[in-house]
């Protein structure tokens, strides 16, 4: 209690402050007590001691190591029946093998080249094969990019045979079929040199102008080879187009083939060399080297191609140089072929986008031009739309 002396020493204001403080302490203390009591009253019955079998209400105190939670009424899963999440690693595809690919794609070839075959057949089946009819036949062949010399040769043969043997549409079809097959030349060796030699993988170099389908061809060829159980290494020597190495790597990953790549804008010859070295170390069957698209008119770039090949040859023989030609480019494709063949020994031709042109005659023209066989044809944008070329199947598709 405040003594009268102390009270007299305090000012009025200080006195009021002390009284208010005491009142606040009393109010807060009382409220706390009331709330605590209410909470306890509201606690659910589960927190009450559970009744134990036998009627005893005594509760065992939890010990160290006891479960913190109440036991569940469902059995605990074992390791065996626990479902693991799906693995996220990409699944390796098993591509379609080369056999029968052209058969599968024949309808597509027939669709694009149908007008050439059917046009020729309609003209040859006329009752009267006069000069005008023969001129129309020539025009049809030249329009389809067969080329002037092969066209004249074919027309000459057809004229002779039709005069001697030709009676009726069926006969005309048979004669045309035989002469077209002879023109495409079934005797040419169209096999790909992709067999591993003693201690070395086969090396395939893929070349051509921009956008003809080189990277797509390398990717699809890798699929064909993997389907034949070959171990393939890809070399991304197209350091010119930024996305080319990624594009190639994606193709490789789909079939489990490793891609050797270097820095963007790096030296293509050194990447080609590294990929072959890697192929030797991995004991691969085939190394497929993709190169940058280069305009045949740019001398520097064309010389670079020769260098790429020479550098590879320091460690392995180059077994195939495949020149990729876009079939839709017609006569320009022929010019490209000529220039490439001057700087590098082309061993095989790949005609892409045959599905996108009615001018399948380019097959005949370009083979004649280079004396090199068409080995593969591209008939669509799909992963398995690359097929080994076959003279008879090609001609049959034209005449379907
Ligand atoms: N329709 C069709 N399209 C094709 C075929 N082959 C390739 N293509 C398409 O042609 C385009 C160019 O193909 P790429 O493989 O990138 O060409 P590239 O020659 O590597 O290109 P660069 O590296 O720029 O020289 C792509 O859109 C391919 O899908 C084919 O046979 N048919």
pLDDT at 267 over 80: yes
The structure tokens 């003594």 sit at 3
Q: Which strands sit side by side in the sheet containing 232-237, from one edge to the other?
A: 258-260, 232-237, 286-291, 202-207, 320-326, 348-352, 374-378, 386-388
pLDDT digits (tens, 9 = 90+) for 210-260: 899 999 999 999 999 999 999 999 999 988 887 999 999 999 999 899 999
268 lines ligand 1 (CB under 6 A): no
The 10 Å Cβ neighbour count of residue 9 is 10
Is 205:322 a contact under the CB 8 Å cutoff?
yes
Please name the residue ranges forming H helices in 231-386: 244-255, 268-281, 299-312, 331-343, 362-370
Q: Could you tell me which of 321, 98, 292, 372 has the C-alpha nearest to residue 203? A: 321
pLDDT band at 13 (very low <50, low <70, confident <90, very high): low
210 lines ligand 1 (CB under 6 A): yes
Q: Flag whether the ipTM exceeds 0.90.
A: yes
pLDDT band at 50 (very low <50, low <70, confident <90, very high): very low
For residue 234, the cross-strand partners are 259, 288
The ligand 1 atom nearest the CA atom of 292? 23
For residue 142, the cross-strand partners are none
- Give the residue whose CA is nearest to atom 14 of ligand 1: 213
| Centroid of ligand 1 to alpha carbon of 301 (angstroms) | 20
Residue 326 dihedral angles phi and psi, to the nearest 5° = -80, 115
Mean pLDDT of 57-81: 49
What mean pLDDT value characterizes the chain? 82
191 lines ligand 1 (CB under 6 A): no
The structure tokens 């799906």 sit at 86
Distance from C-alpha of 47 to C-alpha of 53, rounded to nearest angstrom: 18
Report the residue among 113, 208, 216 best suited for mutation to probe ligand 1: largest number of ligand atoms under 8 A from its CB. 216
Per DSSP bridges, beta strands 374-378 and 386-388 are antiparallel
% of residues, the chain, pLDDT over 70: 77
Distance from C-alpha of 73 to C-alpha of 65, rounded to nearest angstrom: 20
Per DSSP bridges, beta strands 348-352 and 232-237 are unpaired
Distance from C-alpha of 30 to C-alpha of 225, rounded to nearest angstrom: 88
pLDDT digits (tens, 9 = 90+) for 141-174: 999 999 999 999 999 999 999 988 867 788 889 9
Distance from C-alpha of 60 to C-alpha of 374, rounded to nearest angstrom: 88
């Amino acid at each position: 209690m405040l003594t009268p002396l102390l009270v007299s020493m305090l000012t009025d204001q200080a006195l009021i402050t002390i009284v208010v403080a005491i009142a606040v302490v009393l109010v807060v203390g009382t409220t706390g007590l009331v709330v605590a009591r209410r909470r306890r009253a509201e606690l659910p019955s589960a927190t009450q001691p559970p009744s134990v079998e036998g009627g005893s209400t005594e509760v065992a105190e939890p010990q160290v190591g006891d479960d913190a939670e109440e036991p569940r009424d469902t059995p605990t899963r074992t390791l065996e029946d626990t479902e693991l999440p799906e693995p996220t690693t990409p699944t390796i595809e098993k591509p379609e093998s080369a056999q029968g690919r052209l058969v599968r794609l024949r309808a597509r070839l027939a669709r694009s080249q149908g007008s050439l075959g059917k046009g020729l057949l309609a003209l040859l089946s006329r009752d009267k094969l006069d000069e005008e009819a023969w001129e129309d036949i020539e025009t049809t062949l030249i329009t389809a990019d067969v080329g002037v010399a092969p066209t004249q040769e074919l027309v000459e043969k057809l004229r002779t045979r039709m005069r001697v043997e030709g009676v009726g549409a069926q006969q005309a079809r048979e004669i045309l079929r035989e002469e077209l097959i002879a023109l495409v030349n079934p005797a040419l060796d169209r096999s790909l040199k992709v067999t591993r030699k003693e201690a070395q993988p086969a090396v395939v170099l893929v070349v051509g102008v921009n956008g003809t389908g080189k990277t797509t061809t390398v990717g699809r060829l890798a699929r064909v080879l993997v389907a034949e159980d070959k171990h393939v290494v890809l070399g991304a020597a197209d350091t010119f187009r930024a996305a080319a190495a990624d594009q190639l790597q994606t193709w490789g990953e789909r079939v489990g083939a490793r891609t050797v790549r270097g820095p963007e804008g790096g030296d293509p010859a050194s990447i080609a060399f590294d990929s072959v070295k890697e192929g030797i170390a991995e004991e691969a069957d085939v190394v497929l080297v993709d190169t940058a698209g280069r305009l045949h008119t740019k001398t520097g770039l064309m010389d670079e191609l020769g260098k790429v090949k020479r550098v590879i040859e320091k460690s392995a023989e180059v077994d195939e140089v495949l020149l990729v030609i876009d079939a839709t480019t017609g006569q320009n494709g022929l010019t490209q072929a000529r220039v490439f063949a001057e700087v590098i020994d082309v061993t095989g031709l790949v005609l892409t986008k045959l599905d996108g042109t009615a001018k399948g005659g380019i097959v005949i023209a370009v083979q004649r031009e280079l004396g090199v066989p068409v080995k593969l044809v591209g008939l669509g944008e799909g992963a398995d739309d690359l097929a080994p070329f076959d003279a008879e199947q090609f001609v049959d598709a034209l005449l379907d």
